[in-house]
A and B are shown apart, each in its own frame.
Chain A
């Protein structure tokens, strides 16, 4: 049985942080795409067409019911097999692209729900007032409703980003060298002798960034809603 050497935790931290840019790349790209996909489904769920509502609702509940790991396996291992049969070759797609696609899809459901409830939380009278002073619906949306909805959504957005950040740790499952993948690589480089210390180091790094993000969210909320709500 190995003995626990706390000093190894400190030694592992800089090694794991080498993969920080990769984690950030995955985080930011997935964030962008999930917001776009989420916006599309939020619009569908808010539209007056029944079909669109049903599609959006089905999508959200599907994504909420499937573990991200299964989604990753389904898309990374399953999808190329299906596409191959209809003559599309997916072998040129990079691993990072797969991970970004999976995380974007998985988080987009939460993003869509976030946008929908933020939109609904803005008082109806605001829109009516904007229309009554002669704004077009689009102008009313961008100048009056959206700024208020963003303020309402900030805390949830912060939570979703933290969740997405933690989910990037699943990138190692298909061999992407993000922070978690790096931790595993470092661990196997010394034949697993200090694996516990290395995973603790990885945990501490994730914790530190989550802590910063939480603080950042609170600051953003304060700065943004300053003077807006009484």
Chain B
């Protein structure tokens, strides 16, 4: 182990964490919103939209992340250019990665949300109607909180998955944790040191995320009566 290298490289790799987190967070927020919309569209069987969503979900789930990233990276500039004529060279690569990661999250989370909404008893919605709530009120106050509690464990898995997925953004030139470690390791061939640092960082991020989701899960499940084990 080359400890001088670790001492020099560590701050620089740590400095790349915000890039990774930014990608993951933005993609998660966009992805989950689209995911909820897809879930609602497919559950209510809205004609045409529902079928398009089904194909979209199947496609994204069948294509490896790397290919998705490459396609977003090469297709989007072309599409933006031909649609608006804007010069795309000034758009940083991170945005293409975010688009690819968001689509990935949208597809996977839509399945999670669909199952979670299905798990809420229909009687809950009917009961809410019968006390005079509108459908929107009933969804927001009664159905969504219960569905979210069911969805959280799976969403936690998806979030950790996307943190891991951001490491692939290296291949479209985003300087996140992996890319930085690679860049630093190459000149002195300090591979083992660089990747041990990276491994520790990813493990810590995953660990913290799991903790946070676990806390959220306990909080959201407050309403459930405690059963005696």
Interface of A with B (CB < 8 Å)?
1-2, 4, 61-62, 64-70, 73-74, 77-79, 81-82, 162, 166-167, 169-170, 172-173, 180, 183, 195-196, 199-200, 202-203, 206-211
* Residues of A contacting B67 in the complex (Cβ-Cβ under 8 angstroms): 169, 180, 183, 199, 202-203, 206
The answer, yes or no, to whether B49 is at the interface (CB within 8 Å) is no
Taking a contact as CB atoms under 8 Å apart, the answer to whether A65 and B65 are in contact is no
Cβ of B83 to closest chain A Cβ, rounded Å:
12
Chain B: residues with Cβ within 8 Å of the partner, total of: 41
Determine the distance from Cα of A170 to Cα of B58 in the docked complex, in whole angstroms: 21
The answer, yes or no, to whether B29 is at the interface (CB within 8 Å) is no
Determine the distance from Cα of A166 to Cα of B161 in the docked complex, in whole angstroms: 14
The answer, yes or no, to whether B229 is at the interface (CB within 8 Å) is no
Determine the distance from Cα of A126 to Cα of B63 in the docked complex, in whole angstroms: 41
Interface string of B167-189 (1 = CB under 8 A from A): 11011000000100010010001
* Residues of A contacting B68 in the complex (Cβ-Cβ under 8 angstroms): 203
Taking a contact as CB atoms under 8 Å apart, the answer to whether B198 and A65 are in contact is no
Taking a contact as CB atoms under 8 Å apart, the answer to whether A180 and B164 are in contact is no
Determine the distance from Cα of A4 to Cα of B62 in the docked complex, in whole angstroms: 23
* Residues of B contacting A173 in the complex (Cβ-Cβ under 8 angstroms): 171
Taking a contact as CB atoms under 8 Å apart, the answer to whether B203 and A199 are in contact is no
Taking a contact as CB atoms under 8 Å apart, the answer to whether B195 and A77 are in contact is yes
Number of A-B contacts (CB under 8 A): 113
* Residues of A contacting B203 in the complex (Cβ-Cβ under 8 angstroms): 62, 65-66
Determine the distance from Cα of A78 to Cα of B160 in the docked complex, in whole angstroms: 24
* Residues of B contacting A167 in the complex (Cβ-Cβ under 8 angstroms): 64
Taking a contact as CB atoms under 8 Å apart, the answer to whether B192 and A211 are in contact is no
Given A70-B195, A77-B191, is A203 in contact with B167 using a C-beta cutoff of 8 Å?
Answer: no
Taking a contact as CB atoms under 8 Å apart, the answer to whether B191 and A73 are in contact is yes
Given A65-B160, A66-B164, is A82 in contact with B64 using a C-beta cutoff of 8 Å?
Answer: no
* Complex partner residue of B71 from A65, A69, A180, A200, CB under 8 angstroms: A200
* Residues of A contacting B207 in the complex (Cβ-Cβ under 8 angstroms): 61, 65
* Residues of A contacting B171 in the complex (Cβ-Cβ under 8 angstroms): 173
The answer, yes or no, to whether B95 is at the interface (CB within 8 Å) is no
Cβ of A57 to closest chain B Cβ, rounded Å:
13
Closest-by-CB residue of A relative to B166 is A67
